[in-house]
């Protein structure tokens, strides 16, 4: 079964692209904190590429911003590309469901 859930902050500005086929897509980088500390006592962060299609791409562009905390449910997908005659494989998360958790702006305003 290929199913995963992640909770993290949007680490990039969101830009929806319209493909030649008419489909809309965006890729976000989700900053996900690890649940354990490294030997230096610091929680490290993983930056995970997540691809959102059609309605999810439009909605995240309209309602979410860099720094907002979201939850995603989706699946892993292996993609390949060639650069300088060398084939590369990358793992992407294809988002199937998105949940808005909190706005970075609202958290900052509440602290003031």
Mean pLDDT of the chain: 92
Give domain 4-111's CATH superfamily.
Nucleic acid-binding proteins (2.40.50.140)
- For the chain, the domains span 4-111
pTM of the model as a whole: 0.82
Work out the average pLDDT over 39-62. 95
Angle at 32 between CA 27 and CA 38, to 5 degrees: 140
Q: How confident is the model at residue 103 (pLDDT cuts 50, 70, 90)?
A: confident
Label each residue of the chain as H, E or C: CCCEEEEEEECCCCCCEECCCCCEEEEEEEEEEEEEECCCCCEEEEEEEEEEEHHHHHHHHHHCCCCCEEEEEEEEEEEEEEECCEEEEEEEEEEEEEEEEECHHHHHHHHC
Structure-token pair, residue 110: 């509440």
Question: Residue 104 in contact with residue 69, Cβ under 8 Å?
Answer: yes
Q: Would the pLDDT of 111 be above 70?
A: no
């Amino acid at each position: 079964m290929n199913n995963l859930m992640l909770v993290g902050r949007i680490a990039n500005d969101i830009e929806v692209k319209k493909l030649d086929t008419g489909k809309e897509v965006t890729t976000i980088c989700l900053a996900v904190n690890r649940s354990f500390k490294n030997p230096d006592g610091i929680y490290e962060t993983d930056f995970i590429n997540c691809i959102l299609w059609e309605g999810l791409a439009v909605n995240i562009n309209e309602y979410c911003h860099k720094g907002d905390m979201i939850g995603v449910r989706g699946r892993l997908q292996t993609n390949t590309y060639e650069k300088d005659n060398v084939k590369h494989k990358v793992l992407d998360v294809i988002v199937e469901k998105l949940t808005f958790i909190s706005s970075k702006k609202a958290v900052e305003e509440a602290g003031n």
